[in-house]
Structure 1
Amino acid sequence: MRIDKFLKVSRIIKRRTLAKEVCDSGRVSVNGKIVKAGYEVHVGDQLEIQLPSGTRRVVIEKIVENVPANRASELFHEV
């Protein structure tokens, strides 16, 4: 799954267009490497997202196409 879509599905970032902008501006890294919006993520990847509210570090636990909002936090855990 593309990283911009994962950020939206997991509700880390609310809109996919905003997730794409954050990725393309160089504020997202996967396993220590800065990536663009089209990067394919996998289970076990460690994400670091620099947001205005602070930096979030998460590890991907599951990848699914759609998930209800109340179960979105099951897709990752904070580090």
Structure 2
Amino acid sequence: MRLDKWLWAARFFKTRSRAQQAVAAGRVKVNGERVKPARELRVGDGVSVKRESFDWSVTVKNLSEKRGPAEEARKLYEENEASRVERERRMDLRRWGTEPAAALKGRPTKRDRRRLVRLGSD
């Protein structure tokens, strides 16, 4: 089965064309090697996918030509334990990280400037 079709069926990418673009850009590797979208995938192959700020490292368990529900898609692969832990850690950091623009409230008022002057003189 083609790699791009499997990535689409396993729901790593929303469309096959996005899967093809990611493979061509080198963000998807099979058994540690950079490959083409038409690469034939076999059960037991190791696939690493870099998407946004998440890295997935999975082992192919099943092949499917059809895209089904997410629960069926999860049966197509098994994620490595180290990959899962790192991905969950990054999700927590992303979830609990501060919003960069949250601290910005616009121009300081005269009262705020006086407080800053007082803090600076101590």
Please, what TM-score do these two structures have when normalized by structure 2?
Answer: 0.61
Give the CA deviation at 1:53.
2.7
Q: Which amino acid aligns with 1:58?
A: V
CA contact (8 A) 2:29 2:47 kept: yes
Q: Distance in 1 between matches of 2:68 and 2:50?
A: 25
C-alpha offsets along residues 24-74 of structure 1, whole Å, 9 cap, x if unaligned?
011111011111111110000000111113111010000122252131110
Structure 1: which 4+ aligned runs deviate by more than 6 Å? Answer: none
| Residue in 1 that maps onto 2:79 | 78
Which residues of structure 1 form unaligned runs of 5+? none
Which is greater in Rg?
Answer: 2
2: CA distance, partners of 1:67 / 1:6: 9
- Structural RMSD (CA): 1.1
Task: Tell me the TM-score normalized by structure 1.
Answer: 0.92
> Which one has the bigger helix percentage?
2
Aligned sequence identity (%): 34
- Distance in 2 separating the partners of 1:5 and 1:67: 9
Higher normalized strand content (fraction of residues): 1
Kindly provide the amino acid, as one letter, of the partner of residue 5 in structure 1.
K
Residue 37 of structure 1 aligns to a residue in which SS? coil
CA distance in 1, matches of 2:37, 2:77: 18
Count residues with an aligned counterpart. Answer: 79
Q: Any gaps of 5 or more consecutive residues in structure 2?
A: 81-122
The structure, 1 or 2, with the larger RCO (C-alpha pairs under 8 Å, 6+ apart) is 1
**Partner-residue secondary structure (3-state), 2:75:** helix
Matched, 1:25 2:12: no
Partner of 2:12: 12
